[in-house]
Structure 1
Amino acid sequence: MRREFKLPDVGEGLTEAEIVRWHVKAGDAVKVNQIVVEIETAKSIVELPIPWDGVVADLLAEEGATVDVGRPIIAVDTPGDPSEVGTPPAEGAVEPGLEGSPAPKEERQAVLVGYGVKTGATKRRTRTSAPAAAPAPAVAPSPVAPSSGALRSSGTAEPGATRTAVLAKPPVRKLAKDLGIDLATLQGTGPQGTITRDDIHAATQQPRPTQPTRQQGEERIPIKGVRKMTAQAMVTSAFTAPHVTEFLQLDVTATMDAVKHLRTLPDFRDVKVSPLLLVAKAVLTAAGRYPMINSTWDDPAQEIVIKHYVNLGIAAATPRGLVVPNIKQADALSLKDLAKQLGELADTARAGKTQPAEMSGGTFTITNVGVFGVDTGTPIINPGESAILAFGQVKDMPWVVDGQLAVRKVTTLALSFDHRIIDGELGSLFLRDVGAMLHDPLTMLAWS
């Protein structure tokens, strides 16, 4: 029995993903939960398992193609009689496309993690076949008689356009590929909407979109994946939340001494201890003193939502762009556990393996710009949060201590906050307290 595995929603209401790398090819045997493909969503690289035993019949999407959620991406010939369509997968299998009992006339959209596609998560044109307030389900291919030849879905429809099945015989698909024609843009004139050779030749007579002029010495990089998502989020944040940024330069000599001492303790020998650890601890302690700093502006409800837990985000630069994974309920962790999770977060981000769930639900973010050798910046608030702290480089500087000039370890903090929620006084008090704890780490013990 041939089964088609559809691209699932891997969380956070994502509507499309790019096929990065196939781990299998046509003819390969596969086992339940075997990783068969890597996809890149707007947030991360995700590995997808296959929910059946069988043999790969066909790969329905090429590497580098952007595919809508709900579209078949791989066909597998599985053991069993063809009449067993709808038979549950093997025990222990994860089958995103068979969640619950589908309605008889409508396919359920595949959901792997999370709660399905959120309306408006990606800006797309209004669909004509379904209300704009709800995502349209994928449309199953129409039944085709065996005599008509092998037909399958092919091509990628324009984002936001109404998606229908693309039916074409293999020779027609090859002709379209050779001529550079996207089958998803054609209306078939054959039986049951099948695309014919005449349809392909007619399409070659249509004006082709003008390609951007490429000047010598220029390089063009497609805006997609993490970079596209980050750009959209930053623009939305910058033009929605009124940003205010305050700066504080301070002597952190005692913090640097504390970091060195922690590294010598037996309990911390197996974890990475850096200045960021104590900055994070200071932020968590200050957030407990000023809960409004850890809140969200809910515009539809016209409410401010104060979070009495801190999911601490750490901005991380990766080859694929900026990601902000967060440590869930970081305020409840011991210093050692916080150090361990900071290290794991950084390692996962550098490897490009951060999952969407690890980047959702953040309540406050720290960006460590000091690792790039700069003093500070004016960070943009992560959407859904109300503040972000930039931690600049620590460097030797002349500093007045007890009326005498001395060389001290000095850094600069920058706090950007949403002025709808946080006024200047609250922002200043929070930044002052973070600075006080970094100037004298013993203050954290008094305030924790």
Structure 2
Amino acid sequence: MGEVREFALPDLGEGLTEATVVRWLVAVGDTVRVDEPVVEVETAKALVDVPCPYGGVVTAHRAEEGAEIPVGAPLVTVATTDAAAGGAEPDLEQVGGSGNVLVGYGTHEPPRRRRRRTAPGAGTPSGTSNGTSNGTSNGTGGPGQAADAAGASASDAGRTRALAVISPLVRRLAREHGIDLRELTGSGPDGLILRADVERAAGTPDRPAPAAAAVTEPPAGPAAGTGPATGTGTGTEAGTEAEAERIPLTGIRGTAAERLARSRREIPDASCWVEADATELLDARRRMNAHAERNGLPSVSLLALLARVCTAALARYPALNSTVDTRAREIVVLPHVHLGFAAQTERGLVVPVVRGAEALSTEALGAEMARLTEAARAGALTPAELTGGTFTLNNYGVFGVDGSTPIINHPEAAMLGVGRIARKPWVVGDELAARHVVQLSLTFDHRVCDGGTAGGFLRHVADCVEHPAVLLRTL
């Protein structure tokens, strides 16, 4: 006899103790293989595809989408062999369990094609266990649930094919626009559904609105439109008061909020700033990229040049590449520069980390920053790529602003901010000229250094921006 096995949320590493269920990748009644991803969860660090170590038929979801559950909480139950509905053996290449509980972020292969079980003499099951369309369960289901949906309409039969979707961002966009990915034909390789496919579907004028947003429960009180208008507050045309939007501080957003609040509580920060003429830096980048194009080499980004300037300045002023051990009452000057840089994504601001940045060339820095940025936008960064930074570079100029005094990324000691580069009148020699000017700001922990060190660091950065040849001294 087989058995129904329960799979709990595994240890995801990096001290993470909980996760939010974002999307079930399999429905109740689906057949899964050993180590096939079954659910997408969001931790405080990234989106995670969690694989199940058992092969068999999914009999119950033990958590709803949107629920926050701790590590070790029941996640899904699987009938591994003849405990499946109807007592038949599941059609699998592997049954039972792998014995592995993944600590990390998904498998190396995309999910294999799944087959749903069908009760004898019945139609194709819809894969739901409680009448909803997302296949969630109330957590009390058992093996018999695989056959409960046998009476579902035949129109759902075409929805059982495996989805050719890799990016969590694509799945998120589809959820936000109420799009069923099973109805889309991907334009990528092997039918892969791309972000552009979802955006095209979302732009269809006759697409119905998502069902979840169709009904809003009215507030208690007299029926709308039956009483006189008060003329106060904000309301709809029917006279009901609009509801405030509530955004949960969970996942990456919650972690960022806690870290920023802690930084403000613990770090006595100060800021200094300077304007610099970036004309020569832009000219140098233009010449480098023209040479790269002629020789088939990758181009160099402005952010990569600024990152190289940062590592050169930190080599001269290592106190800013440090942290404060409050228990030991010591300043810990760190031996390597793990350079964080702010990257804006649709899920919020994240700070990927280039490890060992002091040993990388400008070209290598650019390649690694481009890779991390793409992974951030796809929601595929690992915890190691989001933690352990020692200094942060914040290019807020991409938002069109000149200056800022950012909050230090705890437990680091400093952050360099770069504003937009704009043409301004500038004194060159004894005459005014139109130049490309940028404002640089440094926010630093006043416990690790005084204004002289911070000012020296910032002035060295400005000198490198104004005269890129200064960097030759550090190569």
With structure 1 as the length reference, what TM-score do the two structures score? 0.70
Counterpart position of 2:32: 30
Letter in 2 for 1:405: L
**C-alpha spacing 1:272/1:301, structure 2 compared with 1 (3 Å):** farther
Counterpart position of 2:361: 334
Contact 1:11 1:357 in 2 (8 A): no
Structure 1 residue 313: Cα displacement: 0.3
Structure 1 residue 18: Cα displacement: 0.7
Structure 1 residue 215: Cα displacement: 4.5
Alignment partner for residue 266 of structure 1, among 284, 292, 298? 292
Structure 1 residue 403: Cα displacement: 0.9
> Is residue 253 of structure 1 aligned with residue 279 of structure 2?
yes
* SS at 2:28 equivalent: coil
- Separation (CA, whole Å) in 1 of partners of 2:244 and 2:449: 44
Contact 1:271 1:339 in 2 (8 A): no
- Separation (CA, whole Å) in 2 of partners of 1:420 and 1:27: 59
Contact 1:89 1:95 in 2 (8 A): no
Structure 1 residue 238: Cα displacement: 1.0
Contact 1:284 1:310 in 2 (8 A): yes
- Separation (CA, whole Å) in 2 of partners of 1:31 and 1:78: 10
> Is residue 305 of structure 1 aligned with residue 329 of structure 2?
no
> Is residue 355 of structure 1 aligned with residue 355 of structure 2?
no
* SS at 1:392 equivalent: strand
Contact 1:278 1:438 in 2 (8 A): no
- Separation (CA, whole Å) in 2 of partners of 1:246 and 1:275: 22
Contact 2:61 2:139 in 1 (8 A): no
Alignment partner for residue 63 of structure 2, among 61, 64, 68? 61
- Separation (CA, whole Å) in 1 of partners of 2:75 and 2:474: 54
Counterpart position of 2:403: 376
- Separation (CA, whole Å) in 2 of partners of 1:89 and 1:398: 70
| Match runs of 1:196-211 below 5 Å | none
* Alpha-carbon displacement from aligned partner over 1:213-245 (angstroms, at most 9, x marks no partner): 994163222222222111111011011000101
In the comparison of the two structures, how many residue pairs are matched?
Answer: 335
> Is residue 73 of structure 1 aligned with residue 75 of structure 2?
yes
Structure 2: segments with no counterpart, 5+ residues = 84-94, 106-137, 143-233, 235-239
Structure 1 residue 285: Cα displacement: 0.8
- Separation (CA, whole Å) in 1 of partners of 2:421 and 2:337: 26
With structure 2 as the length reference, what TM-score do the two structures score? 0.66
* SS at 2:54 equivalent: coil
**C-alpha spacing 1:269/1:259, structure 2 compared with 1 (3 Å):** farther
Counterpart position of 1:432: 459
Counterpart position of 2:7: 5
Counterpart position of 1:367: 394
Contact 1:251 1:410 in 2 (8 A): yes
- Separation (CA, whole Å) in 1 of partners of 2:429 and 2:76: 71
Alignment partner for residue 237 of structure 1, among 231, 238, 263? 263
- CA RMSD in angstroms, aligned pairs only: 2.7
* SS at 2:439 equivalent: strand
Letter in 2 for 1:37: V
* SS at 2:335 equivalent: coil
**C-alpha spacing 1:406/1:416, structure 2 compared with 1 (3 Å):** same
- Separation (CA, whole Å) in 2 of partners of 1:390 and 1:402: 28
* SS at 2:41 equivalent: strand
The farther-off stretch of 430-439 and 4-13 is 4-13
- Separation (CA, whole Å) in 2 of partners of 1:390 and 1:443: 20
Counterpart position of 2:22: 20
- Separation (CA, whole Å) in 1 of partners of 2:296 and 2:394: 25
* SS at 1:265 equivalent: helix
| Match runs of 1:97-136 below 5 Å | 112=104
**C-alpha spacing 1:378/1:34, structure 2 compared with 1 (3 Å):** same
Counterpart position of 2:101: 95
- Separation (CA, whole Å) in 1 of partners of 2:432 and 2:139: 79
Structure 1 residue 340: Cα displacement: 0.4
Alignment partner for residue 319 of structure 2, among 282, 292, 308? 292
**C-alpha spacing 1:399/1:94, structure 2 compared with 1 (3 Å):** farther
* Alpha-carbon displacement from aligned partner over 1:97-156 (angstroms, at most 9, x marks no partner): xxxxxxxxxxxxxx548xxxxxxxxxxxxxxxxxxxxxxxxxxxxxxxxxxxxxxxxxxx
> Is residue 223 of structure 1 aligned with residue 225 of structure 2?
no
Contact 2:55 2:96 in 1 (8 A): no
- Separation (CA, whole Å) in 2 of partners of 1:269 and 1:30: 46
- Separation (CA, whole Å) in 2 of partners of 1:412 and 1:300: 36
- Separation (CA, whole Å) in 1 of partners of 2:400 and 2:333: 34
Letter in 2 for 1:33: D
**C-alpha spacing 1:423/1:379, structure 2 compared with 1 (3 Å):** same
Alignment partner for residue 43 of structure 1, among 42, 45, 69? 45
> Is residue 400 of structure 1 aligned with residue 427 of structure 2?
yes
Letter in 1 for 2:252: V
